[in-house]
Amino acid sequence: MKVRKPGFLNILLTSTISMSLVLFLVGLVFLLFFVARDMSTYVKENLNLSIILDDNTGKLDEQRIEKFLTGSPYAKSVDYISKADALKDHISSLGENPQEFLGYNPLKASIEVKLHEVYANNDSVIKIENKLKSFAGVNRIVYQKDMVSLVNENVNKLSIILLVLAVILLFISVALINNTIRIALYSNRFLINTMKLVGATPRFIRKPYMINSGVNGIIAAAFSIFLLGGVVYFVQNEFGISGLIFHSTNLIFVIFIVLLCGIVLSAISSYFAVNKYLKMHSGDMFLI
């Protein structure tokens, strides 16, 4: 069944471009949300928890602490740094050797722990710290308390802002896509009424319009995905950002969201737009 009339293609092109721009904004917000989440995870999991050991700590005590940490659910990585290695790191970073003027190595051996993201908060660190203090040979535990608080606060604020923005854009996209579909179908209102008068069922009338709208949604989504790909390519090349920020799984998920929004919103909008004309009387068609 041919449902397009003269001028309908121009309206369809305009509505497709409008939908693609809306879907681009939706995809961009979701992409920013995933990037912010991954960056926060990366920062949190690279905050060090340093367990400073006493000079007289025996090998058995060190192994006991390391074994406990490696078997715990919160430690992502555990690295032992000896007094000699600590001195080498100090010399390489500050350019001076304290052993030369003190006559001995003042630095202590330590166990450096990187925590999993869910445990990189002050409440969890305090519990971990209390547990580790019960081990023999532990002198003190050092961690960046202010940095942990700052990262968590900023991440929570940014996540809330992006989620609110995503929800607002989804509502806007629903409204705009619905309006563009209704405008596109406006020129077909008499054709819809004619099919109804000759006995066509509502399902039979709606089907071609919903299919066309779904296809247009796919086209709009494909164009918006192309634009998103251009943004990702530009950012990666212009700022030298690697795949650390733009994970392939996140990109695939964003593509899926954009395609789903394009198809589902277009089809649903078409369904309700056709229903509006199906419920109207023939005389009312001239009044709108």
If you average pLDDT over residues 93-102, what whole number do you get?
A: 76
pLDDT at 52 over 50: yes
How many percent of the chain have pLDDT more than 70? 90
Q: What is the pLDDT of residues 265-279, one digit of tens each?
A: 888 888 888 888 777
Q: What is the pLDDT of residues 124-142, one digit of tens each?
A: 888 888 888 888 888 888 8
pLDDT score for 286: 61
If you average pLDDT over residues 89-118, what whole number do you get?
A: 80
Contact 119, 125 (CB under 8 A): yes
Contact 48, 120 (CB under 8 A): no
Domains and CATH numbers, the chain: 8-42+151-287 (no CATH), 48-143 (3.30.70.3040)
pLDDT score for 265: 82
Identify which of 208, 259, 280, 215 has the alpha carbon closest to the alpha carbon of residue 12. Answer: 215
pTM: 0.68
If you average pLDDT over residues 224-238, what whole number do you get?
A: 83
Contact 65, 50 (CB under 8 A): no
